[in-house]
Amino acid sequence: MPAASTKKSRILTGIQPSGDMQLGNYLGAVKHWVINQDIQTNFIPVVDLHSITVKQDPEELRRQTVSLVAMLIACGIDPEKSTLFIQSHISAHAVLSWILNCTTPVGWLERMIQYKEKSHNRERVSTGLLTYPILMAADILIYDADEVPVGQDQKQHVELTRDIAERFNNIYGETFVLPQAVVPQIGARVMGLDNPLIKMSKSHAHIRGHAISMLDAPKEIERSIKRSVTDSFNEICFSNEKERAGVNNLLGIYQVITGKTVKEVENDFKDARGYGDLKSRVSDTVVSEIEPITKRYYELINDPAELGRLIQKGDDSAKQYADPKLDIVLAKVGLHRNDSAGR
């Protein structure tokens, strides 16, 4: 009987360098990438090329890009286990994107929901806003990714990627793996502390008390959680009732950090004396989780040589996968490659 295959699934998860990472980003996604990096092959590009579909301050974009790499490593992404790299450093992404532009019908792009939403009532819309789903497809296909973890709002982009890959395969022969969109069933949907009916988001981070930044000091974290919205029931348990969303949110944060079951979490708060105790314990738990991450982040930011070494390591690792794949595509479409010139 043949031995079972030990091939790890290839997972592609891009993240944009826009603003400081929030607790919601960490608990909802990054923490799970860290946990799973021993059982799957992670490709994690910091997708700075996607950021310039809207005008950016160049210096700030560069700062945020490097800062995000440092934060991901501080959160536990291990460059020895996961391929963490900066998208714009890997030229194969842009080259493949152009090739896929030439085989993708424009109608496929015009029907994308996010394009319709972002271009609505705007007189001037950049070509990049229309075609960035093709760059996203290139990000995925250049690594033969099997799975792409996404939220419901991003599933259409992975479906488009499959259509693009299938069309290319039909024209030029089998070339690309058809990726699957995976909407994680287990994960935190961390809601705003000031409004537990909306998701904790970078776009609302300017509102005091809405979010917890991964770089917040312990006192600021305590203050934000202390001011968080709860209710008048004074009962500490999970609930699907809209009125209980605030307490549910705090318990959910505690649960994801501790890894406990619903029953275990509720048992932990059996002796709590009201919501003050709840907020105090959740605050202590969040601070204990974030403090070592913040410490490691500043160690990296204050050591540019080491951070630069880790960035180069990730870029080199990504090129080992991306460049040979691009060579196959170039040959398929009939483009000449001058190997002696290098990249």
- The residues annotated as belonging to the active site are 118, 199, 202
Strand partners, 84: 44
Residue 80: partners with Cβ closer than 8 Å, 6 or more residues away: none
- Please state, in angstroms and rounded to a whole number, the distance separating the CA atoms of residues 343 and 161: 26
Secondary structure class of 15 (helix, strand, coil): strand
- Please state, in angstroms and rounded to a whole number, the distance separating the CA atoms of residues 132 and 154: 13
- Judging by DSSP bridges, how do beta strands 83-86 and 147-149 pair with one another? unpaired
Secondary structure class of 10 (helix, strand, coil): strand
∠ CA 281-285-291, nearest 5°, is 135
Spell out the alpha helix ranges (H) of 124-244: 127-141, 155-172, 218-226
- Please state, in angstroms and rounded to a whole number, the distance separating the CA atoms of residues 254 and 241: 19
Give the residue among 7, 326, 267, 295 at the shortest CA–CA distance from 139. 326
Q: Which two tokens stand for residue 165?
A: 């890959």
- Please state, in angstroms and rounded to a whole number, the distance separating the CA atoms of residues 162 and 279: 45
Spell out the alpha helix ranges (H) of 14-83: 23-25, 31-36, 48-51, 58-75
∠ CA 170-172-173, nearest 5°, is 65
End-to-end alpha carbon distance in the chain: 45
